[in-house]
Structure 1
Amino acid sequence: MLLLNRSDIEKCYSLKDCIAAVADAFKYFSAGKVDVPLRTQILKQNGKDTFLCMPAFCEDYDAACVKVLNMFPENINQGLPSINAQVLNIDTKTGVVNAILDGNYVTQLRTGSASGVALKYLAKKNCRKGALIGTGGQAATQLEAMLIVRNLDEVAVSDLDFERAQKFAAKMQEQLAQYHTKITAVKTGNEAVKDADVIITVTPSTKPVYDAQFIKKGATICGVGAYQPKMEETPAELVAKANKIYFDSKDAVLAESGDIIIPLNKGMVANTSFTGEIGQVVSGDLIGRENDDEIIFFETVGIAAQDLMATKSIYDKAVKQKVGTQVNM
């Protein structure tokens, strides 16, 4: 069995590689070619901590995996990752588990890549300012994905903890220097999203992290953090005024995300308000952005197809480049 930790993966694989893999994942998923049951989710009585199990299989992609993931949002206050996970890669011919991958890093890569795919296909070509709200464990790849797909002059970063936002911005300014983008911390979500062309929110908030009135025409917004029905980082008013609304998985979003469930329950949007899945845009079966004035909203809760294609592509590269540690189990 091959063991792949974060360092191993970084040696042979990039976020740009993962954006391509996740684009495939969305395309195959929306075409009905990925077997992805709704993930098993157990919520602790505190209403915050979650245990998740996510299996997936795709015959056409010759890929199978299972991800075991635990999400504990308050860990960030203890300096611990909010997500702890492992991914088991499975040989589709024999059923043998042939690799275990650092699920934390795979999750960071594939979650950032979801926004990267959405912005690649839905954002205006000419974008100047980005906004990122939330600086937890998923934030770094969200920010880099934004910079990979659009050439931005600046990105404003905000967080409930301004000092944490400042530290994150300074760290990212150094780590992502090759993109030549100014990364600065601001005190509020409204300040971050004002005049922003592309926006990513990645928080577990149960109330909106910005006001819809500050979103300008032509903006593309990715809602990433609201993975439970009571979570609502995106204002319902924004969802209501969006010209187009796309999902990673319509069924998963309608079952799990408060960003959509809450405005639906309030009667502010209807099922007819939803445009479709991003995979349909990737495949060319559904139109994306049609002009530079459209406000487009993309909601993702994460689907196992992302883990599946990311894990398979990482494994293939690691084997080819002889990266990782072989162990007998």
Structure 2
Amino acid sequence: MSVEILANRRIPPATPQMVWISDQLASRIVTAGFAYQTVMEAFLVHAAGDFVQPPKPFVRPGGAAKEYELGYLVSMPAYVGGSLNALGAKLITGFPINLTRGIPRASGVIVLFDTTTGVPAAIVDCRTISARGAAATASICVDCLGAKTSLRVAVLGAGPIAHETVISLFMTKSRPIDSVLIFDPVGDRARAIVEAVSPFTDVPVQLAPSARQCVADANVVIAATTGAKAYVQQDWLNDGWLIIALSSDDFVPDIIQSANKLICDDFVQNDQEDMLFPRLVRSGAIGPERLYGELGLIVAGRIAGREGGERIFVNPTGMAIQDLAIAARVCATEACRAGARPLTC
């Protein structure tokens, strides 16, 4: 082959080696602070509009009626720009019956692609990433929308997300938390959170005997249950509350309709969800003029957060861009540790 032909020959870029990140490895890298900072960046990129995030398609093998036994699969493809620069998809299943089998209700992976070549770059177990990403979102909501003093926090539910949320509240920033009450019908799960967190704080973290007693004196209510339906009543709550509905069907419609500010992470995505808040919007019970704004705009300081003694309802259904952002940062951290070429994820 002549020198001229060799000189003009295009040499393809090196193909990155596919990386597998186990949940064990991800959990060591994704501390509460790591998740908080990365999710904050994802919200800022969202506010800047440098992302692509189509609605989530659901696959239900047995239809909605048999979701408990036969489960569902959610596909969450996305691109997030800025310094995060991640392209991929989160694939996550939900099998409620798994709780009776002693295994997690939800399982999934995040697939990342090289943003220069489109070559598959990594597969990441997303169990810890999902839980700590949701917990970071809850902590960010408290910082942007909660009272500035005397936070009295009620947590409904004691699954993995609730567990990580309580840890995040204490581990990511210094906050004026006066008390944390936790209620879950499965008392052992709530007790496990109390035992895990109490050694690291002087703030009382205690079990509540009922949902009503849990929220009665709270000005921050975080719901992270697995399918509870409209049991929290309006007269249970103090005024001036912040509700962070990671599972929004816990609250009767009157509570949502009485909020001064209605906020979510992404209104287009939220509209596709089968949860109470978007159902009220789609039915016309809540008019579009009532929707205050997206969380990223508040994080970016483009619209106000809490103003006085408002009642604020936030329904962050979880964005693919935040999960992809965390996974990409995990890949970069592990590549750096291993001395490998950083992935363009």
TM over 0.5: yes
Q: 1:168 Cα shift?
A: 2.4
Which of the numbers 115, 119, 123 marks the counterpart of 1:96?
119
Q: How does 1:1-329 map to 2 (within 5 A)?
A: 1-43=18-60, 44-45=62-63, 46-48=66-68, 49-60=71-82, 61-147=84-170, 148-149=172-173, 150-159=175-184, 161=185, 164-165=186-187, 167-176=188-197, 177-205=199-227, 207-226=229-248, 232-264=249-281, 268-291=285-308, 293-322=309-338
Opposite residue 302 of structure 1, the aligned amino acid is: G
CA contact (8 A) 2:30 2:129 kept: no
Q: Residues 170 and 183 of structure 1 are in contact (CA less than 8 Å); yes or no, is this contact kept in structure 2?
A: no
C-alpha distance 29-2 of structure 1, shift in aligned 2 (>3 A) = same
CA distance in 1, matches of 2:91, 2:31: 22
Contact 2:271 2:282 in 1 (8 A): no
Q: Contact 1:9 / 1:318 at 8 angstroms: preserved in 2?
A: no
- Tell me the SS of whatever aligns to 1:88: strand
- Deviations 1:199-244, CA, capped at 9 Å, x for gaps: 1111233521311222222221111124xxxxx2222111111111
Distance 2:74 2:37 in 1: 25
Q: Deviations over 1:20-41 (max 9, x none)?
A: 1112212222332111111121
User: Which residue identity lines up with residue 218 of structure 1 in the other structure?
Assistant: G
Partner Cα separation in structure 2 for residue 4 and residue 209 of structure 1: 39
Distance 1:278 1:59, change over 3 A: closer
* TM-score, with structure 1 as normaliser: 0.88
State how far apart, in whole Å, the 1-side matches of 2:235 and 2:280 are: 16
Cα-to-partner distance string for 1:157-216 (whole Å, 9 max, x where unaligned)? 112x2xx23x22332233223233322222322111111121111123352131122222
Normalised by the length of structure 2, the TM-score is 0.84
The percent of aligned pairs where both chains have the same amino acid is 22
- Please give the secondary structure, in 2, of the residue aligned with 1:53: strand
Aligned mates of 1:39, 1:82 — CA distance in 2: 19
Say if 1:87 and 1:103, in contact at 8 Å, map to a contact too: yes
Residues in 2 aligned to 1:301 and 1:174: alpha-carbon distance in whole angstroms: 28
User: Would the aligned equivalents of 1:82 and 1:137 in 2 still touch at CA under 8 Å?
Assistant: no
CA contact (8 A) 1:257 1:301 kept: no
**Matched residue SS, 1:205:** coil
Gaps of 5+ in 2: 1-17, 341-345
SS of 2:160's partner is coil
Residues 218 and 10 of structure 1: is their aligned pair in 2 closer, same or farther, counting only changes over 3 Å?
same
| Alignment CA distance shift 1:267-1:56 (3 Å) | closer
Using the alignment, how far apart are the partners of 1:265 and 1:26 within structure 2? Answer: 25
CA separation in 1, counterparts of 2:52 and 2:284? 32
Spell out, residue by residue over 1:241-267, the C-alpha distance to the aligned partner (whole angstroms, 9 max, x if none): 111111011112122142213433665
Whichever residue aligns with residue 168 of structure 1, its letter is: R
**Compared CA separation, residues 223 and 323, structure 1 to 2 (3 A):** farther
8 Å Cα contact 2:157-2:190 kept in structure 1? no
Residue type of the alignment partner of 1:137: P
Tell me how many residue pairs correspond in the alignment.
314
For 2:41, the aligned partner's letter is: D
For residues 187 and 74 of structure 1, the distance between their equivalents in structure 2, rounded to whole angstroms, comes to 26
Q: CA deviation at 1:280?
A: 0.5
Q: Distance in 2 between matches of 1:74 and 1:133?
A: 20
Rg larger for: 2
Contact kept, 8 Å, 1:130 with 1:152, in 2: the verdict is yes
The aligned amino acid for 2:32 is L
